[in-house]
Every structure is written in C-alpha cells, then in structure tokens.
Structure 1
Amino acid sequence: MLIEKAEKLLNELFGYPSFRKGQQEVIEKVLAGKRVLGIMPTGGGKSLCYQIPSMLLDGVTVVISPLISLMKDQVDEVREAGVQATYINSSLSNNEVQQRLKHLQDGKYTLLYLAPERLENTFFRYQMRDVPVSLIAIDEAHCISQWGHDFRPSYLHIPDFLRFIGEKVGVLALTATATPQVADDIRAALTIKGEDQVKTGFKRTNLCFSVVKGQHKDTYLIDYLKKHKGQSGIVYATTRKEVERLYEQMRHENLRVEKYHGGMETEEKEAGQERFVHDDSDIMIATNAFGMGINKSNVRFVLHAQMPRNIEAYYQEAGRAGRDGAKSECILLFSPGDVQTHQFLIEQSQLEHIRKEKEYNKLRQMINYCHTEDCLQRYILTYFGENSTEPCGMCLSCTDDRQETDVTIEAQKVLSCVKRMRERYGKTLVAQVLTGSSSEKLRKLGLHTLSTFGVMKEKSQKEVYQFIDFLLAHEYLYLPDGAYPVLKLTHKSAEVLRGQREVKRKEWMHAKDVTREHPLFEELKSVRRETAKKNQVPPYIIFSDQTLLDMCAFLPQKEEEMMQIKGVGAKKMEAYGEEFLKTLQSYKQSEHEMKKG
C-alpha cells in the first residue's frame, strides 16, 4: 500500500517514527486523488503532506507559494532529505527558467516550487502543459480569500490554472491561519468538498504567549534580548523607520542583530537573512515583509514591538517561533499608540466600505486580545472557530500568580455612564465624562450634567480608557463595526449593574528571567554549527533544537540508539551522526567519571 511506503519514507528520510495528527489523513486523501484542504498550525508539518506524495506519485508535484525569498532554502532542505526539487520565480533569468522547464519535462525533478505571479503568463501555462504534473499544492492558501489577512490578487489565477492543467491533477490547499469564513472561500474557489477538509486544530502546545503592557518598550526589549543571548529570535516592528531605529539601538548594545524591510536592497536583505538562518546572527528585526519569509525551525522567541492589525497576522508571525516543537516564547509589547496607527492606516486605505468595516472589527478583536485576562491561546483558538474550553496552562494569563482585585464598583460606574449617555458615544467621551473633564465639547453636548460626571475623577483618562478596554475584552461592553464605534452594553453588563455578577481584575505583571540551557545542549549546538558550515547548509537542516534536546535527555551511545531520536533518519545519521555521537559518548564518559570521583 502507498501509505505504508509513505510511512517508510517518513522514517528513513525525515527521521520521524510516525505521522503527526492530520498528516496521514491528508496524505491518504491526496494519494487517492482527492482535492484536499489541510488546516494545520505553523510547525504542524504541512510541507510533508506534499513532499512525501511527490516521491510516490508519477510525475511532478507543483507547490504554489508566495515565499519567493524562501524557495531556495526550501529546495535545499528537501534535497537534503533526498527529494529532487527546484524552483521557478522572478529571481531567475529567462534562460534559467527555460532550462528548468526542460528538466521538468524530462522528468529530472519530482518537486517544483512556483511563484503564483508566474501563472499570469499565458506562454508559461502552455509550457507547463508539457510537464507531467500529478499534484498541485497551494501553500498559504488563505491568500486566495479576500477576507483573509494576506489576500494576494495573484492567487485568483490559481483556479483558472487548475482548469487549464486538467481535472485529473490532484489538488492540496494548505494554511495555518483560516477562520471558518476563509476556509469556506478556499474550498469554494478550489472546488474542495467539505468532507475533504482536514483540520487538526490551531493549538501550538510548545508556545508560551504573553502581552506586556505599561512598560518602557526599549528597556524591556534590551533586557529581554540580553537575557536570551545566543538564542535565535525575531523582533517585529510596524514600520521601516522603527526597524532601523531598533536595529541601530541593538547594535549599540553589542547584540548580534540583522534587519529586514521592504525599503532595503534585495542583496542586503538576502545577506542578512542568510546570516540569521545560518546562526551567524541571533536576532532579526523586521517588518511583516519578513512575515512568512523564514524557514528556520530553531527560533526560540518572537517579540512584537507593536501590536499587529489582526489576530491572523499575529498568529502567523508569532508562529515562526518553535517550529521544531521545542518550547518557545511569543511576547507582544502593547501601547495605546499602536491602535491609533492602525486606525489611521485603515481609514487612509483605498478599501471598499465593507472591507474597512471588516478591518476595524479585526482590529478590535486584536485589541481585546491585548486586554483579556483569560487564557491567551484559548482566545486565539476561539477566534479561529475552535471551541476550546481548557486553558493552555502556559501563557501569561494561565501562569501568573497575581491576586485578583474586585473592581465591580468601578465597572458599575463605567457601565452606568455608558447607559446614561444612551450608548451613543465612544471610549474617549465616556472616559472624559467619568474623569470630569473640562472639555468644551462635553459642555456643548450637555454631558457635564450627568450624574456620572466625575465619579472616577481620582483616575487619569488613560487609566479609565484602559479599564474600558478591559471591559470590552471581557464582553461587559462591545463596539459595533465602523470607524467611529460607540460603546454598547451587553447581557453581562446588565447583570453587573443589577449586582448579580462580580468583576475581577489582576494587577500588572513583570517579566521573568530565562533559565540557563543544558551545558550539553550548547556543546551539541556548537557541533551543529561547525557541521553546517562544513556542509554549507543552515544549522536547523542538520538537526532541529528539539532533536538536540532529545539527545540531551536520552544520551544515545550507539548508532541504533541515535536512530530512535526523533529527527534522526538513516540519511541524516549517515551524513552527520558520527560527530554528534562522539560528543554524546564523551559527555556520558565524563559524567560517569565525575560520579566515580
């Protein structure tokens, strides 16, 4: 059976004893010739769902991907596993494209990575008709939906290309970030049946999510990056200017840092990315232009210096951390100014009215994420349509030991004020009324005569504004869609006003120090770095951080024991295993001698 051959390839070439959740179901459907939609989290092993079939199907597997800056790394990685692969995108000359097409037609490759923009070229389409295509895999499939966070017009050419190539060709759409509406769009565009959607869930059990508020961002970043020196991480910033500023600041702190944004020359971006991927630099400071352009599995932390515009973008960028399965951190540094920046960008955009309304709604859900005190991962899963009742037990909200404070009276003051203002005004005016502002606008509107005017005058407008955000995040209030939404009461707020429900809030929390790594882990990382340089490949391609951690835990002493470690297949053992085994044997021997002494 084909699936048994697939399991054998998984073990021998990739070093995994069994498929992850969802992988086998997707591969079985693909090998049966069905059109399939796979929704799996980043790091969930989506690429294996087309890499393994590419070696079992007759013909070429075409992977349509927007990640042009990534294609070379992806091709290098699968070649290491024994797959004959190539790519075609705008970085190649016409002669190079024609040569690769000829090799594809001659059956020299089984896997082709293709940029979606190439499908707009009619001549190229006709040339592809001479390539024996067996499967078309669409990576980042959410880009096909106009309601997705990263819609790409070039993806709209994919359905026409599928019809052009022929009905018998298999189709596999893959994404890590699809709300129920986006998933419906993908299936409709690619004619995928509902029963052929495989959704493994969005949960990333190795990621620890945090939101940091009320701290000086630069101070926090410098402190964090120094504590995590030697670990790989990404710092996302909203603008090119902010990337440049943080880059210069971190260089001044003698941190090994790179930068990446759309205003840089291609050569400069590629050189920085190469140093980061090869562990010659620890930190990449980037805009969302770097959002999907990274195939590095040992990223231990992702920090957002500003809040992204929506949950989809945040989860995809944060998901760059821990793709090897090892524990990693995702920290968002929030300040109210982030909200104003995004509101301005949405208002100034050329989007149609209905799209703007959607963007405002997504922004509000992102803001609520920053203010919720419930489990952060559960909040994200709920956004993507998963009814998760169990807290993750890892995020900031789940692990903090702060005391809860009863803020029911303060909540009643805010809710009562919203009610007396007849639910016709936004956060700013409500906060001004509560703090007793002398604003002329309040007097013109007659709002200074309300009984709730000045009932929270001991607090600043900023504090009240943040408290309103807390009430919004926990659905004591809500904001309808629109550029200038007004505060509305909910059924929960009615219970609070009647004294039937308590409102509790936690105090601020401070960041904690990171624990030191296992000394053997550092030694194995050094061996990996040297092996990678010798073989001219990125270190994560040799072995992932999680594989090295498993070596530390189990201390294999023989080749057959090494082969039991997840991520060490026969091919990798033959190519790289000897030096790692020597290091493990030496460590075990010194440990034994210390015990004897």
Structure 2
Amino acid sequence: MNSPEALDPALHVLRHTFGFQAFRGEQPAIVRQVVQGGDALVLMPTGGGKSLCYQIPALLREGCGVVVSPLIALMQDQVQALRQLGVRAAYLNSTLGAAEASAIERALLAGEIDLLYVAPERLLNSRCLGLLESARIALFAIDEAHCVSQWGHDFRPEYIQLSILHERFPQVPRVALTATADTATRAEIIERLALQEARVFISSFDRPNIRYTVVEKDNPRRQLLKFIRTHHEGDAGIVYCLSRRKVEETAAWLRSEGIRALHYHAGLDPATREAHQTQFVRGEGIVMCATIAFGMGIDKPDVRFVAHLDLPKSLEAYYQETGRAGRDGLPSNAWMAYGLQDLVLQRELITQSQAPEEIKRVERQKLEALLGYCEAPACRRVLLLHYFGEESTPCGNCDMCLAPPDTFDATLAAQQALSTIYRSGQRYGAGHLIDILIGRASAKVKERGHDRLSTFAIGKHLPETQWSTLLRQLAAQGMVEINEHGGLQLHDACRPLLRGEANFVARRVRESTSTRAATSVRREIDFASDEARTLWAALRQCRRDLAEEQNVPAYMIFGDATLKQMLDARPMSLEAMFELSGVGERKLDAYGSQFLEVIQKHQRRQAQNA
C-alpha cells in the first residue's frame, strides 16, 4: 500500500527536507495552486509557514524559484537556513563581489540553483531581467507584498514596478505573500502586481501564542524593566521606540541594569547596524532596542517578547511588529506602554509630514483605530482581528480577559472634563486640563487665570491618573480631538453627552494595572522538574556548540520548539528523532547523533542516580 508521501510529492518534500509531519491550514491548497502554474496572493500571519508556500513549489517545479525580498539581511538568513536543509539556495545582492555574483549567475543558467533571492532594485535592472530570461524559472515569489501599498507603513517604491514580472514572464506563476494587509491594501496589491487572476488565500490573523498587554505609562523604563525581569529574564526580545535618541538611551539604561541590550536605527553606520543585528540573531537572550527600521523579515524564531515604549503608527504596524515574537509557536508577549502624549506626538508627525492630504486623512483614521485598541474595554484580540475583517470570541489570554477592567458611570466626570476643555479655550493639553480639574494652581494655571474658572478643582474627587485615563477614553470615542499643537478640543460627537442625553462609562484606574494581567504569563518552557531543566540546558549547550562550529545562528541547528519535543519525547534512536517536527533528513544526518548522545548520556546518569 502506498504511503501518503509516495502519493503526494509535496508532502514528501515537507517531511524529508523540512522535517514537518503535515501541512497546516491553507498550505496544501496554496502549494497545489502554484505547483500547477497558478498565481496566488497569500495572507498568513508571521510564523504561519508562508515561506513553505513558495519553497516547496520551487523544489517541485522545473527550474529555479526567484524570491523578491526587501532586505539583504533577511535573504542572507533564509539562504543560510535553506542550505542547512540541503537546498541549493543563493542570493544576488550588493554584498557580493563581482566574482561571487558571476559564479551564482553561471550556476543559475546551469540549473544548479533551486531558490534565488533577489532585492527588488536588482531584479528590475535590465541585466538581471535579461539573465532571468535566459534561465529556467520555476516561479516568482514576492515576499512582504504589502510594501507595494502607498497607504502602508512599509512602502517601497520599487515594489510598484514588479508588475513587469507578469509582462516579461507571462507563463511563470507568481505568488505574493504578506503577514498583514487590510482590505484596501489587498486590493492595491492585486492591482499593482497584476494579480487579478490569482487565487486569494487568507489564513486567520490570529496568533494565539501571543499575549497582548497595554499599560498606562507611569515611569515606562521602570515598567519595562519590571516586565522583563518578572517574565522574560534571559529571553530574547525587541523594544521599539519612536526616536533614535530614545533607542540609544533605553539600550544604555537596560545595560546599566544588567540586561544584555543592543540598539539599532537607520542613523547608525552600516557596519554597526550589521554587527548588532548579527549579534541579536545569532545570540541568545539579547534585547534589541530599535526604531521601526529594525525587524522586517527577521527570521529569529525564539523572540519571546516585543515591547513598545511609544505608540506605533497604526494597527497594521503594531500587528507586524508584535508578530516578530513567538514565530516558533511558543508562548510570547506583546507589551505596550502608552499615554495621551503618544497620541499627540503621532498626530504632530502626521500633520508635519509632506504627504498629500488624502494620505494624511487615512493615517489619522488608522491612528484612531489604534487608539481604540489601546482603550479597548474588552478582549484585545477580538478587536485586533476584527480590524482585519476576522470575527472571533474572547481569547482568555490578553490583559483585558485575564483582568477585566472595573468600570463606573463617569457621565458627570466626562461632562466636567468637556466643560473644562471648552472654558479654557480648547487649546491646552491634558496636563494643564488636569491641573485645572484637580485644583492644582500651577504657574501656568495662574498666569492664564484658569484658577478662576468655574471648573477649577471641580474634579478633585478623582485621582490624577483617573482623569488622564478619562481624557484618553474621550479621545478614543471621538468626543474630543487633538489639534496640531497637542491641545484638546471638543468634537460634535460630545454634544449629546454635554446635554445629558447620553451616558459615559469609563474604566476605573487600578494601581496594579501594569502587573495584574501578567501574573499568569506562561513561560515558554515549563519544567516539570530540575531533571528536565538540566536536560534542557544540555540540549541548548549542544546546539550552541554546533552553531559555533557551523558559524550559523543557533536556531538554524534546531529551534526551541524542536528542542522542547526532544525534552518531552526523549528519543533513544535516530528513527525516533526523525519523527519530531523540524527534523528533516539533512539535519538528522548532520546533527541527530550529537543530540541523541546528549539525551542518552542524561538518561544513563539519571538511572545511576536512581
């Protein structure tokens, strides 16, 4: 009787080359579509297995699969990882010398390359297009396809010109892939890449292994440090900041507190950027403080947390950035600290940009959607997935589900806040308004005569933190707007509330907001005993030694998820090890016996001590 592998070449490649037992979700349908020569648009979350959707068809179809990738570091990592699996992969980019590039071009023409990674800028030059026309091409894969969108957060002008692939290579199937794209962006991808005939595959955007938490800023550095030390001591993570200066200062401060931290932003010289990225990708337990210049396509699977010390630009950006955590499927955290000042700053950046007014309008709408997420009164995952057109039920794993907020009828307080905004001239920021409400006669309040307003000290019955939260919630619900100078002003939507025709329910501030929801955060590895912890350490040391010998990142030997299976299953033969997910033939031959020896030695020691 024939095995499923014998009947399905794609399943055979999945099992023997990549080491996975079965396809997930839409993967088999996507692979079938492309293998048969059809075009595809694939929307799949980070860690969902997008790469397999073009890597396997490239290995099954005649010729070489050409992958358009926006980042040099990304293509280098992917090629290195594929070579570990025995796949003939290469890249053409500016890091290669003339002799190296010529050798790869000759190998391509000779049919000796299965997958070739190319930057869009290089692909579009006439010499490269002529080279590809002389070669046998199996498919074109356009990775990070959302870069084609002028409305998006990662727009790359070169991506718009990639429709040339359809014009010059009409018989070659194309697959465009992205982890994040709302309805408008999907339509733009289809239009600009001429994918009108492509099948569209949309997987769930849900990342159930990621816990989403948002806390109100209150000494954010200390909040971040407490979060790391409590839940991610020794773990790899990314901390996003808005400015280059804040990135460097945060990294330096974390180092002063004993955290292994690096910094990364576009203002660093290329050698430093490359060195820091290499250290992060290849090392273990390093925290990278970065601007959004860092992260697109980072393949490191064991990033256990992504933290934001500043508000991102949109929910798309937030989803993309937080998605860099937990690519291996193990429990991870997305943690963000934000305040009203973040919203003020982002609005200023939009106002001051040189973008056309239409784009500014869309950016403001996206920012408002993000604010709504931050001020969500219920499950964050439900709101996040709804934004991408996907309905779901409460997850039970975000901060709102784990520690549901207390609410109270804040109608009177909201009216007092709105009245204070109006009476003070609709031009002041939250700090000044709160001073008026609680009766703090600051120099600015006295200078403006606002200590004589009828609303002065009218809100002293509520703490300052509650007023701060209330003002944010009024902004989130569209009752107030923030002008170009950061001042709050009334919106028409507040009229029913001021007239007493509507009620306003607010979240009650709790002192423990920043920590309560995280008390039950699962660690990525739950050790049943000290014995298990000892074996885990031995397996990681074996991986570290092999990675140093091969001069590759540790995860390219085996990821944490595969090591966890070794820890749980304790395989005592190579045949048993081959049954583990992530163990293909090439890696079994190269590394299987070393890990088997570690497990066997550990088991013998345990038997002797019993």
Which residue among 195, 210, 214 is the counterpart of 2:213? 210
8 A contact 1:417–1:434 mirrored in 2: no
Q: Do residues 557 (structure 1) and 560 (structure 2) align?
A: no
8 A contact 1:413–1:452 mirrored in 2: no
**Alignment coverage as a number of residue pairs:** 590
Aligned pairs for 1:165-244 (under 5 A) are 166-193=169-196, 196-227=199-230, 228-244=232-248
Shift in CA distance, 433/365, structure 1 to aligned 2, threshold 3 Å? farther
Aligned pairs for 1:448-527 (under 5 A) are 455-459=458-462, 463-473=466-476, 475=477, 477=479, 487-488=490-491, 497-498=500-501, 505=508, 507-508=510-511, 509-511=513-515, 512=518, 518=527, 519=533, 520-527=535-542
- 1:76 is displaced (CA, Å) by 0.6
- 1:506 is displaced (CA, Å) by 5.8
Write the letter of the residue equivalent to 2:178.
T
Q: Do residues 86 (structure 1) and 101 (structure 2) align?
A: no
2:598 counterpart residue number? 583
Shift in CA distance, 252/130, structure 1 to aligned 2, threshold 3 Å? same
1:361 & 1:70 partners in 2: Cα distance?
31
Q: Do residues 397 (structure 1) and 400 (structure 2) align?
A: yes
Aligned pairs for 1:349-428 (under 5 A) are 349-388=353-392, 390-400=393-403, 404-410=406-412, 413=415, 417=419
Q: Secondary structure at the match of 1:155?
A: helix
Structure 1 stretch displaced more, 307-316 or 408-417: 408-417
2:548 counterpart residue number? 533
Write the letter of the residue equivalent to 1:172.
V
2:50 & 2:352 partners in 1: Cα distance?
36
Structure 1 stretch displaced more, 341-350 or 39-48: 341-350
8 A contact 1:375–1:395 mirrored in 2: yes
Shift in CA distance, 420/15, structure 1 to aligned 2, threshold 3 Å? same
8 A contact 2:69–2:142 mirrored in 1: yes
1:462 & 1:469 partners in 2: Cα distance?
11
| Cα deviation code 1:305-346 (max 9, x no counterpart) | 222111111211111111111111111122333223322222
1:584 & 1:407 partners in 2: Cα distance?
60
- 1:571 is displaced (CA, Å) by 2.2
1:102 & 1:482 partners in 2: Cα distance?
57
Q: Do residues 294 (structure 1) and 309 (structure 2) align?
A: no
| Cα deviation code 1:209-266 (max 9, x no counterpart) | 1112233122223333344332211122222211211222222233322222112222
- 1:462 is displaced (CA, Å) by 6.8
Aligned pairs for 1:109-120 (under 5 A) are 109-120=113-124
Write the letter of the residue equivalent to 1:538.
P
1:571 & 1:120 partners in 2: Cα distance?
35
What TM-score do you get using the length of structure 1 for normalisation?
0.88
1:492 & 1:30 partners in 2: Cα distance?
56
1:480 & 1:408 partners in 2: Cα distance?
21
| Cα deviation code 1:356-398 (max 9, x no counterpart) | 111122222222222223212222212222122x112111111
Q: Secondary structure at the match of 2:207?
A: coil
1:147 counterpart residue number? 151
Write the letter of the residue equivalent to 1:171.
R
Structure 1 stretch displaced more, 51-60 or 258-267: 258-267
Which residue among 305, 313, 319 is the counterpart of 2:317? 313
Q: Do residues 100 (structure 1) and 115 (structure 2) align?
A: no
Shift in CA distance, 414/151, structure 1 to aligned 2, threshold 3 Å? farther
Structure 1 stretch displaced more, 13-22 or 492-501: 492-501
8 A contact 2:417–2:437 mirrored in 1: no
Q: Secondary structure at the match of 1:386?
A: coil
2:364 & 2:404 partners in 1: Cα distance?
34
Q: Secondary structure at the match of 1:234?
A: strand
2:179 & 2:186 partners in 1: Cα distance?
11
1:273 counterpart residue number? 277
- 1:488 is displaced (CA, Å) by 4.0
Shift in CA distance, 317/496, structure 1 to aligned 2, threshold 3 Å? farther
Q: Do residues 337 (structure 1) and 341 (structure 2) align?
A: yes
1:250 counterpart residue number? 254
1:161 counterpart residue number? 165
2:413 & 2:196 partners in 1: Cα distance?
47
Structure 1 stretch displaced more, 346-355 or 229-238: 229-238
2:302 & 2:420 partners in 1: Cα distance?
48
What TM-score do you get using the length of structure 2 for normalisation?
0.86
Write the letter of the residue equivalent to 1:576.
Y
Which residue among 65, 75, 78 is the counterpart of 1:71? 75
1:27 counterpart residue number? 31
Shift in CA distance, 374/250, structure 1 to aligned 2, threshold 3 Å? same
- 1:288 is displaced (CA, Å) by 1.2
- 1:411 is displaced (CA, Å) by 5.7
8 A contact 2:85–2:584 mirrored in 1: no
Write the letter of the residue equivalent to 2:209.
N
Write the letter of the residue equivalent to 1:41.
P
8 A contact 1:145–1:151 mirrored in 2: yes
1:437 & 1:263 partners in 2: Cα distance?
42
8 A contact 2:44–2:202 mirrored in 1: yes
Specify every segment of 5 or more residues in structure 2 that has no aligned partner in the other structure, as ranges.
528-532
Structure 1 stretch displaced more, 458-467 or 287-296: 458-467
8 A contact 2:330–2:561 mirrored in 1: yes
Structure 1 stretch displaced more, 515-524 or 138-147: 515-524
Q: Do residues 4 (structure 1) and 8 (structure 2) align?
A: yes
Q: Secondary structure at the match of 1:97?
A: helix
Shift in CA distance, 78/492, structure 1 to aligned 2, threshold 3 Å? farther
Structure 1 stretch displaced more, 278-287 or 40-49: 278-287
| Cα deviation code 1:515-553 (max 9, x no counterpart) | 585313333222211121122221111111111222222
Write the letter of the residue equivalent to 1:64.
V
| Cα deviation code 1:419-474 (max 9, x no counterpart) | 999x999985987886689999999x99999997864354577743431322444x
8 A contact 1:418–1:487 mirrored in 2: no
8 A contact 1:83–1:110 mirrored in 2: yes
Q: Secondary structure at the match of 1:14?
A: coil
Q: Secondary structure at the match of 2:95?
A: coil
2:197 & 2:377 partners in 1: Cα distance?
35
Aligned CA RMSD, in angstroms, stands at 3.6
1:50 counterpart residue number? 54
1:372 & 1:517 partners in 2: Cα distance?
31
Shift in CA distance, 123/233, structure 1 to aligned 2, threshold 3 Å? same
Q: Secondary structure at the match of 2:17?
A: helix
Structure 1 stretch displaced more, 229-238 or 188-197: 188-197
Specify every segment of 5 or more residues in structure 1 that has no aligned partner in the other structure, as ranges.
none
1:571 counterpart residue number? 586
1:22 & 1:41 partners in 2: Cα distance?
12
